[in-house]
Amino acid sequence: MMGGRQEDAHYDVVIVGAGSAGCVLANRLSADPATRVLLLEAGGWDWNPLIHIPYGARKMFDYGMYQWGDVSEPDPGANSQRMIIPHGKVMGGTSSLNYMAHVRGHPADYARWVEQGATGWGYDDVLPFFKACESWERGADRWRGGSGPLGTWTPKEMDPIGAGWFAAAKALGHPATDDYNGAQNEGFGKIQYTIRKGRRDSSARAFLRPVLGRKNLTVVTRAIATRVLFDGTRAKGVEYRRKGQTHVAHAGQRVVLCLGAINTPHLLMLSGVGPADHLREMGLTPVADLPVGQTLEDHLAFPLLWRRKQPDPFHRKLRIDRIAVNMLRAQLFGNGPAANLPGAVVAFLKTDRALAQPDFQLVIPLAAIESNIWFPGINTPGNGTICAKVNLLSQKSRGRIRLRSTNPMDRPRVFYNSLTDPDDMATMRRAYYITREIGEALPMEPFRQEPILPPRHLTDEAEVDAFIRANATQQYHPAASCRMGHDADAVLDPDLSVKGLQGLNVVDASAMPHLIGGNPNVVIMMMAARVAAMWAG
């Protein structure tokens, strides 16, 4: 615990979850010294150097560190796989263990948000908040911010294969973009990371740590919220467990749920806010009948792989003795290969040029996070592979989240329902053909050998579909599970208050009207900054 006294259980605002959204909100709402803010977080502090050293992301993922351990129900559309659903349980939430890609999505995403009832969330409305959040290394311009808390950096070192991808895309008439978060989202570009001075900029590092000294801000870690407490339809506080004890934190103004797209609907339903029939079936008395957890989205993806011709240059740096020294160097000085990850290529592309915005994303990791540490004489590195991961950005299939039981410690059931809408498979199939064509174009020949996944060129539609179903996985971007909007599926009003209730807000990935076309971390941070300004009037 840091900040105010724990026994003082009365606050103006209680924020649950110190993740991408929660840390930004704690920063913004405690800026007014008259507002007493409590931030509750289920995980512990982010002391582990693996969180801060960029290469550490790979190791944390491999060892399943700081996660809730969720796995989906068998997903019939993806050969009944149970998908892993990693999301963070530590200060900074998932922004402390994600892969740090900094992506805003396309302006048309926000036009769609407004169409869906999210008044005040068009691109012109949100742009000032994106800019205020970030420190783009090339400085401020019409699109980018130069002095915000969140560092944003493009790797300087590029695997030579990157040039092959850019040339292949150009040869086939695909656009390139110098800054996919700037004037032009569409096209092939270099990845931007939320890294500052060789260290991950999580929301905890960028937004929370600088304000920990505020007397009106209390942070309690290892505190698991189990229920929102109501007085009629007004949220009056949160019950939570810590070290085997049950506590209550009262909120005079508002309770803000920032638990992420899986845990926020879980806590709402445990508190009686959700589909009334499901709540009654579980033995709960509904406080509000709302479609909580009914419109879950994620980005479905599948990889294409080829064998590389030349050794991957980054892989050589992963020899056990070299990477050990480089991890230490990154920890002490914030430099060297473990801090300065080599660049990745990302592309936002359309399967039909007439579309208003890209409908799939290619992520081409170029070594870095995908490479593994090796031991001389035991597992010497081969040349490695060339990987292009195809992410579906325009998913129409919707999943849902249900209670497993009324015990808050039991994890909820997550049904992805992948590829239940036939348009999703049609888009993924077209994206497969396009990606294959780029990967096998002439400029890639100096770098590429035979295909590995799939091992031969698939032309038959049924074969392509079977390949996609067998290799599809969700991309760890769950969202829109308590969406804002004005239709029957919406749970939140545009100020992110829960419909029909007072004093209760949801600010995290679950609040998106639909999942934007890209990686969502900075979008969620923007949402927190934007809504804090709305509440301030």
Enzyme catalytic residues: 477
Instruction: Label residues 35-71 b or e (16+ Cβ within 10 Å = b).
Output: bbbbbbbbbebbebebbbbbbbbbbbbeeebbbbebe
225 binds ligand FAD (CB under 6 A): yes
Question: Could you tell me what percentage of the chain is helix, strand and coil, using 3-state DSSP and rounding each to the nearest 5?
Answer: 30, 25, 45
What minimum distance in Å lies between the beta carbon of 252 and ligand FAD? 20
Binders in 238-297 for ligand FAD, by CB under 6 A: 258-261, 263, 267
Residue with tokens 């991408």: 20
What minimum distance in Å lies between the beta carbon of 279 and ligand FAD? 18
Site size with ligand FAD, rule: CB under 6 A? 41
What minimum distance in Å lies between the beta carbon of 18 and ligand FAD? 5
Q: Which of 14, 15, 16, 515 binds ligand FAD (CB under 6 A)?
A: 16
201 binds ligand FAD (CB under 6 A): no
What minimum distance in Å lies between the beta carbon of 134 and ligand FAD? 13
DSSP H helices, 389-475, are: 422-439, 461-471
362 binds ligand FAD (CB under 6 A): no
Alpha-carbon span 180 to 130, nearest angstrom: 14
412 binds ligand FAD (CB under 6 A): no
In this complex, which beta carbon is closest to ligand FAD, that of residue 418 or of residue 521? 521
* β-strand pairing of 245-257 with 234-242: antiparallel
In this complex, which beta carbon is closest to ligand FAD, that of residue 425 or of residue 507? 507
Q: Are 365 and 301 in contact (CB under 8 A)?
A: no
Helix (H) or strand (E) holding 115: helix 107-115
Tokens found for residue 174:
């695909």
Other CB atoms within a 10 A radius of the CB of residue 102 amount to 23
Phi, psi of 463 (to 5 degrees): -70, -40
Q: Which of 13, 14, 15, 18 binds ligand FAD (CB under 6 A)?
A: 18
What minimum distance in Å lies between the beta carbon of 33 and ligand FAD? 25
Task: Report residue 283 CA to chain centroid gap.
Answer: 33
Site string for ligand FAD, 93-132 (x = CB under 6 A): xxx--xxxx-x-----------------------------
Q: Near ligand FAD by CB under 6 A, which window of 4-12, 40-48, 130-138, 150-158?
A: 40-48
- Site of interaction with ligand FAD (CB under 6 A): 16-22, 40-43, 61, 86-89, 93-95, 98-101, 103, 223-225, 258-261, 263, 267, 476-477, 508-509, 519-521, 524
